[in-house]
Amino acid sequence: MRGVNLLPPEIAKRKKFARKRQMAILLGGTIVALIFFSYLSLFSSVKSYQKGIKEKERLLAEQGSKWKELQGAMARVERIEKDIKALEERIRTVQELTGGELYYWETLRELGHIIPEKVWLREFILNPQTRKLSLKGSASSDTLIAHFLAALETSPYFRGVELKETKKSASGDYKDFELTCIPQGKERK
């Protein structure tokens, strides 16, 4: 008797539909639950992503302010480097203009110390190309001219002392002389 259904067909249909309805409700509930949990997961992911974006925006703003500070510092460094280059160029120009020049005031001071009494200088000419100093003057005697030459030769400020000429002055009271030497002052650094 297995295959014989004694239930009236309406009840059998209702049981069949009830079972299908239960399956549909179960399937619908499962779908709603899946949608709900998917939404929760998506919502949680979006919140986490938004939090990450806010953190990155904060870090970006921090880096932006640091970048502006660094740009200001870089501008200052560039200005300082430009000033240093300008100063170095000025120093180089001054060195080119004065390079190897002697401290002539020291030479003049030494000349003032070693010149004997009754010896007078009329001309003091420095040739910048040869760096030779030409001195013309007068003295009351040949002996004073000799003392002056000896003092120039022993001075550390002069070398290559050479007497060019001596002659009696037009009045006959003095001896005129001309000599050359090379000043040896300290060189500028």
Residues 12 and 56 in one domain: yes
CATH number of the domain where residue 129 is located = 3.30.1360.100
Domain membership of residue 189 (yes or no) is no
Domain membership of residue 82 (yes or no) is yes
Phi, psi of 3 (to 5 degrees): 175, -5
Q: How confident is the model at residue 172 (pLDDT cuts 50, 70, 90)?
A: confident
The structural domain count of the chain equals 2
- pLDDT for residue 2: 67
Helix (H, G, I), strand (E, B) or coil at 60: helix
Q: Which of 113, 178, 180 is nearest to 145 (CA)?
A: 178
Residues 33 and 86 in one domain: yes
**In this predicted model, what pLDDT tens digit does every residue of 155-170 receive, in sequence order?**
998 899 999 999 998 8
**In this predicted model, what pLDDT tens digit does every residue of 116-125 receive, in sequence order?**
999 999 998 8
CA pair distance 173, 176, nearest whole angstrom: 10
How confident is the model over 6-27, as a mean pLDDT?
A: 78
Residues 5 and 79 in one domain: yes
Domain membership of residue 89 (yes or no) is yes
Domain membership of residue 17 (yes or no) is yes
Residues 94 and 108 in one domain: no
Q: Enter the tokens of residue 69.
A: 């500070």
Residues 45 and 11 in one domain: yes
Which structural domain range is residue 30 located in? 1-98
Domain membership of residue 188 (yes or no) is no
Residues 20 and 53 in one domain: yes
Helix residue spans in the chain (DSSP H): 9-98, 104-114, 142-154
CA pair distance 129, 132, nearest whole angstrom: 8
Helix (H, G, I), strand (E, B) or coil at 121: strand
Q: How confident is the model at residue 188 (pLDDT cuts 50, 70, 90)?
A: very low
Phi, psi of 108 (to 5 degrees): -65, -40
**Helices 142-154 and 104-114 sit at what angle, rounded to 10 degrees?**
140
Checking if the pLDDT of 109 tops 80, the result is: yes
From residue 6, how far is each of 11, 12, 13, 93 by CA, in Å? 10, 9, 13, 125
How confident is the model over 84-102, as a mean pLDDT?
A: 70
Phi, psi of 171 (to 5 degrees): -75, -20
